Amino acid sequence: MSSDTIKVTFLPSGKAIKVSPGVSILESAIAAGLGVKGLCGGKGLCGKCRVKAHYGVEQKISLSELEHLSQEDLDDGMVLACQRKLIADALIEIEPEAINPHRKESLTDAHKLMPVKSAVTKRYLTLPPPSLEDQASDLERIMREVSNGNSLEIGIELLKHLPAILRRSSYRVTAVFLDKSLIGIEEQDTSRDTYGIAFDIGTTTVAGSLVDLNAGRIIATRGATNYQQIFGADVISRIDYSITHENGAGLLQKGAMAAMDEIITGLTRESGITERQIYEAVLVGNTTMIHLFMGLEASFLARSPFVPVFSRALNLSNKDFGLGIHPAGNIHIFPSIAGFVGADTVAVMLATDIQKQPGISLVVDIGTNGEIVLAGKDRILTCSTAAGPAFEGAKILYGMRAVNGAIEGISIDEDVHPDVIGGGSPKGICGSGLIDAVAEMLRVGILDSRGRIADREALIGQVDPKTLDRIQEGKQGREFVLNKSISSSTDKSVMITQKDIRELQLGKGAICAGIRILLGELGLTPREIDRVFLAGAFGNYIKRDSAISIGLFPEIEADRIHPVGNAAGVGASMALASIDVRERATELTRKAEHIELSCRKDFQEEFLNALYFPV
């Protein structure tokens, strides 16, 4: 633990993290994976991010706090989380009602106000009741007030309920249009209640953001386990399941929908919004997840030439899905670029505005597959590399996801100091921990550039004895033990094996080689990259210096690397709020040139070169 960090502990969860002095309470809460309510994106405008500061917080009361907090509040220690910086080890109490327990990332991004041009529009109408002098039909009575031209789509269910709604409301109704479709007639004036939900369907987790389509504002975000995991941990095993089991595709679809409905239930309960007021869902995710959600044949995604059923944006009716939103609502499926460069990557491209960034921009989204986007010289190149499961903790002997008990970081001085999520004894190591460990092992000389764990004897005098003792000969070759104290007999040993190192080399080599191939295509060197957007949860937790140390990125300076968190969810929310953004998404997919690396003879050579660690 370096001395330039402070420890901030949050009540009532007790979660503690280390941050640099000077970050705001809000930023630190986000970094801790805790949600704090707020609507303005940390600008001090909404006054919703009230927390109680017990100690460690700067004392200056801001103008915004004077506006939003009473004297009694201030006397009681209440502050606005976005307005106060942490100056020393701190204790912050988030009021129970302010906690969004499922909230993980990117609160700041999420709370931005987005440009609004919603596909959903509402019109409140006060209609004259029918008479013998005015026998217009129920539908025409509405439509003659609404100048939307002649073309109208309307579903049979709405027509069935129309007479009763009109008469019950004394002809005071709100018409709900989805593009040119009349999807709802609601009693009285509901024009303020227009919501949508943006889903990012991940292999492990599904995230959903509830968006106010009038304001262009994310109200709340939640996550849920993708229940498809029952049928397989990774995309390939799920595709297998969908093919080899009767109604396998149907079960996988239900697995994703269960997660989505759980999120909808949580978000509506939390916000007081009803499910029928959510008129649209925008879906992003990797191509397999989207196919499985839709109940589509995914087998051709898994074998060469890796062809999806569709790639363009689609608008489907919720009538065909039965998600817990408005029954006639729209399911907008994001466009994708290729079988392994999916809608989630397109959403990240939108959120990072990659097309309009000056110079050369790189997007890297690391998971089982690494999706890479290089934008510059008025071109956009994409590729996908089989990054391997190392970054997600799979195929690593003690690998695990970034949950409680996982080593997420390590520093080595006279001994090894693992940072364990949630504190306590480590149960395993997650992707960012693995990268950190390898970077440190390289630094102190335990690993050589070819990835071999050194012979213990050869390092005597060069490495501290406590650290040296951690090198063992195991059944699978050499191992390096990571536990806080290797002498403690109560602790289960958590170690990195020689084989684990090899897995990591394969993964990072594939990503680095993919980046080099795209750079070569534009005639660029790594040093010419102006910025790297590191997407996904992984990108938020990875230590940039460590990533560079192991050669995940080719010769790129750390300060050019920008973690963008849940950029896919943000991109999806932007598209939910504005049909112009959907247009841009389609433009991006048209402009993107996909490089299929399995076609490239030069990929093998780049890959072999990239297997080594930088010296």
Q: Specify the stretch interacting with its own copies by CB under 8 A; choose among 34-42, 43-51, 145-153, 223-231.
A: 145-153
Ranges of beta strands (E only) in 114-168 are: 120-126, 153-154
Q: Among residues 38, 202, 216, 295, which is the contact residue for its own copies, using CB under 8 A?
A: 295
Q: Residue 10 to residues 17, 98, 354, 575: CA-CA distances in angstroms?
A: 9, 12, 36, 34
At its nearest, how many Å lie between its own copies and the CB of residue 202?
A: 21
Could you give the 3-state DSSP secondary structure of residue 223? strand
Of 314, 522, 558, 579, the one binding its own copies by CB under 8 A: 314
Q: Which of 207, 181, 169 is nearest to 285 (CA)?
A: 207
Q: Does 315 bind its own copies (CB under 8 A)?
A: yes
Give yes or no for residue 316 binding its own copies (CB under 8 A). yes
Rounded distance, CA 221 to CA 99, Å? 11
Contact status: 162 vs its own copies (CB under 8 A): yes
Q: Give percent helix, percent strand, percent coil of the chain, each to the nearest 5.
A: 35, 25, 40
Alpha carbon separation from 267 to 31, 223, 349, 384 (Å, rounded):
22, 10, 26, 34
The smaller minimum CB distance to its own copies, of residues 382 and 573, is found at 382
Which of 23, 31, 40, 139 forms a contact with its own copies (CB under 8 A)?
Answer: 139
The SS3 assignment for 342 reads coil
Considering the complex, state which of residue 335 and residue 376 has its C-beta at the smaller distance from its own copies: 335
Instruction: Give how many residues touch its own copies by CB under 8 A.
Output: 51
Should residue 248 be labelled a site residue for its own copies when binding is judged by CB under 8 A? no
d(CA 26, CA 547): 26
Looking at 294, 348, 434, 496, which residue binds its own copies (CB under 8 A)?
294
User: Smallest distance from the beta carbon of 476 to its own copies, in angstroms?
Assistant: 35
- Of the candidates 41, 13, 12, 11, the residue with the CA atom closest to the CA atom of residue 27: 41
Q: What is the CA radius of gyration of the chain?
A: 27
Question: In this structure, what are the phi and psi dihedrals at residue 100, rounded to the nearest 5 degrees?
Answer: -115, 90
Residue 146 in the binding site for its own copies (CB under 8 A): no
DSSP codes of every residue in 502-530: HHHHHHHHHHHHHHHHHHHHTT--GGG--
Q: Choose the binding region for its own copies from 23-31, 146-154, 218-226, 442-450 (rule: CB under 8 A).
A: 146-154
Name the residue among 561, 584, 558, 562 with its Cα closest to residue 571. Answer: 584
Which of 338, 412, 556, 610 touches its own copies (CB under 8 A)?
338
Q: Could you tell me the two tokens for 18?
A: 């280390």
Q: Binding to its own copies by residue 155, rule CB under 8 A? A: yes
Minimum Å gap between C-beta 253 and its own copies is 10
Which part of the chain contacts its own copies (CB under 8 A), choosing from 12-20, 78-86, 136-144, 507-515?
136-144
- If one asks whether residue 145 binds its own copies (CB under 8 A), the answer comes out as no
Alpha helix (H) residue ranges in 384-535: 431-444, 465-468, 498-521
Q: With respect to its own copies, which residue has the nearer C-beta, 156 or 615? A: 156
* Minimal distance, residue 199 CB to its own copies, in Å: 17
Contact residue for its own copies among 320, 455, 557, 580 (CB under 8 A):
320
What's the closest the beta carbon of residue 322 comes to its own copies, in angstroms? 12
Q: Which stretch binds its own copies (CB under 8 A): 117-125, 156-164, 420-428, 517-525?
A: 156-164
* Subset of 586-605 contacting its own copies (CB under 8 A): 586, 594, 596, 598-599
How many Å apart are CA 210 and CA 134, to the nearest integer?
Answer: 42
Footprint on residues 25-44 left by its own copies (CB under 8 A): none
Quote the least distance from Cβ 307 to its own copies, whole Å. Answer: 5
User: Please, are residues 53 and 77 in contact by the beta-carbon 8 Å criterion?
Assistant: yes
Question: Binding to its own copies (CB under 8 A): which residues in 76-135?
Answer: 130-135
**Near its own copies by CB under 8 A: residue from 2, 60, 75, 160:** 160
536 near its own copies, rule: CB under 8 A: no
CA distances (Å), 197 to each of 46, 213, 277, 286, 292, in order?
Answer: 22, 9, 10, 18, 19
Query: Cα 529–535–538 angle (5° rounding)?
Result: 120
Q: By CB under 8 A, tell whether 243 contacts its own copies.
A: no
- What is the binding site for its own copies (CB under 8 A)? 130-140, 143, 150, 152-157, 159-160, 162-164, 294-297, 299-300, 304-312, 314-316, 320-321, 338-339, 586, 594, 596, 598-599
